[in-house]
Amino acid sequence: MYKRRSFVFGLGVLVGAGASIITEKIKQPMADMWQKIEVARRDFTVVGEQPLRERAQAKGLIYGAASSYQELAKNVDLANRFAAECGILVPVNSMKWQELRPGPKTFDFNQGDWLAKFASERGMQLRGHTLIWHKALPDWFEANVNKQNAEQVMLEHIATVAGHYAGKMQSWDVVNEAIFPANGRSDGLRRTPWLEFLGPEYIDLAFQAAAQADPQALLVYNDHRLDYDTPEMEGRRVAVLKLLEGLKSRKTPVQALGIQGHLFANEMPFKPKKLRQFLSDVASLGLKIMITELDVTDRMLPGDIAVRDRLVAGVYQDYLDVVLDEPAVIGVLNWGLSDRYTWIAGVRPRDDGMAVRPLPLDQDFQRKLAWQAIARAFDNAPSR
Ligand code: XIL
């Protein structure tokens, strides 16, 4: 009896002393195991072979993806797969200032026009990205743009570029990523050259100019890091809503919110309720919503491809189930269609050096579980 008690006591001391180490050691593998079980029991079966564009269209939605002139012009297989799956194309870089504006007075539409023609010949719509952004500004910008001429430079750019593609664009990202509460302003606006030169009204001015140049395109405010239940992203959602409310109250012609949707597997807490509420808050302003740059960073997932693809597909499923439940959501676009061409390989690579798998098609343009998750989400979505 004594012996047993002292054994139990001894064990208690041992557990007490090492409790945190032991629980830490058990916690992660347990969490991994539960996640594997949870995802393994998910159903990703899809009925039929129809491409995503048809499944989306059947529900009154648009599906598409981003690709570049360089990718589509040199890879016929990609071009064919792209046209088969996508109802809309958004150029990755060709319509940013850096590519479009060789000099302060010049415009180069070669790549953009090639992509516009490619889209129209293959029966795809076209999306413009992006008229005003703090990134991808050309080298000449800093020395040539100042407080005195910024308004004229901006208005000329929008009139010329949106005017050039007028009638051909389903939508334009008029302003991209203008919110950055970490910059410390009470309105949450990012400190950019445009803000510095023109004040917060630069956003209103940009939308007015775009509406004038292309009255047919849906005019979108596009931003990122709006998806997860973290204090940072909650702050961003609040600031984006405030921005949109202000634009609407001033009758600025913003018509939709673009949510980039760069997702993360196993990195951040996802709360369907929070995202769902945000979407209905945006919708209640009378705005449409598009998911504009969807992909799933897989750097925290195990290397095993079968496991990884299931977990990535699970992220797509969870997200799209919430998003497509909101009737104001009219479209979903991936930032790239195939894992062969993805910016995630550059910005968020895996530590083990294995190729990332964030998109619906694999390196050889074959459909993955992520494709199935998207297809199922469209099939299950309510009609618009
Ligand atoms: C990225 C492109 O994919 C890269 O090729 C480029 O080097 C940098 O920009 N949010 C956006 C897109 O709005 O324009 C970005 O595209 C990805 C993040």
Neighbours of 92 (CB within 10 A): 23
Largest CA distance in the chain: 93
CA of 92 relative to ligand 1 center, distance in Å = 7
Degrees (nearest 5) of the Cα angle 87, 88, 93? Answer: 150
Point out the ligand 1 atom lying closest to the alpha carbon of residue 177: 13
- Asked whether 93 lines ligand 1 (CB < 6 A), one says yes
Could you give the C-alpha distances from 218 to 155, 280, 383, in angstroms and in order?
18, 19, 20
What's the rounded Cα separation, in Å, for the pair 156 and 154? 5
Mutate to test the pocket of ligand 1, among 127, 179, 343 (most ligand atoms within 8 A of CB): 343
The C-alpha atoms of residue 188 and residue 192 are separated, in whole angstroms, by 12
All residue ranges of the chain with pLDDT < 50 are 1-18
Query: How many CB atoms neighbour CB 83 within 10 A?
Result: 19
Tokens of 374: 């998207």
CA–CA separation, 30 vs 38, rounded Å? 12
What is the predicted pLDDT for the residue at 39? 67
Report the nearest-CA residue for atom 12 of ligand 1: 92
**Is 293 a pocket residue for ligand 1 (Cβ < 6 Å)?**
yes
Among protein residues, the one whose CA lies closest to atom 13 of ligand 1: 176
CB-CB contact of 195 with 145 (8 Å): no
Please give the Cα distance from 99 to 96 (Å, whole number).
Answer: 6
> What distance in angstroms lies between residue 347's CA and the mean position of ligand 1's atoms?
10
DSSP state for residue 114 in the 8-state scheme: H
User: What is the whole-number distance in angstroms between the Cα of residue 334 and the centre of ligand 1?
Assistant: 12
CA 263 to ligand 1 center in whole angstroms? 14
Structure tokens at 138: 């050309």
- What 3-state DSSP class applies to 356? coil
Decide the pairing of beta strands 88-91 and 125-132. parallel
Question: What string of H, E and C letters represents the secondary structure of 135-189?
Answer: CCCCCCHHHHCCCCCHHHHHHHHHHHHHHHCCCCCCEEEEEECCECHHHCCCCCE
Q: So where are the chain's domains? A: 7-87+261-380
CA of 173 to the centre of ligand 1 (A): 13
Q: What Rg do the C-alpha atoms of the chain give, in angstroms?
A: 24
Predicted structure pTM score: 0.92
Find, among 130, 63, 118, 147, the residue nearest to 92 by Cα: 130
The answer to whether 105 and 66 are in contact (CB under 8 A) is no
Regarding the beta carbon of 260 and ligand 1, being less than 6 Å apart is answered yes
| Tokens standing for residue 190 | 């990012």
Residues marked active site are found at 177, 293
Neighbours of 121 (CB within 10 A): 9
Given ligand 1 and candidates 93, 94, 294, which is best to mutate, with the most ligand atoms within 8 Å of its CB?
Answer: 93
Question: Residue 158 and residue 204: Cα distance in Å, rounded?
Answer: 13
- Cβ of residue 173 lying under 6 Å from some atom of ligand 1: no
343 lines ligand 1 (CB under 6 A): yes
Encoded tokens for 239:
């600031």
Ligand 1 neighbour 295 (Cβ under 6 A): no
Distance between CA atoms of residues 108 and 101, nearest Å: 6
Supply the DSSP symbol for 258: E
- Residue 75 to residue 336: CA distance in whole angstroms: 14
* Ligand 1 center from residue 341 Cα (angstroms): 12
Number of neighbours of residue 143 by Cβ within 10 angstroms: 8
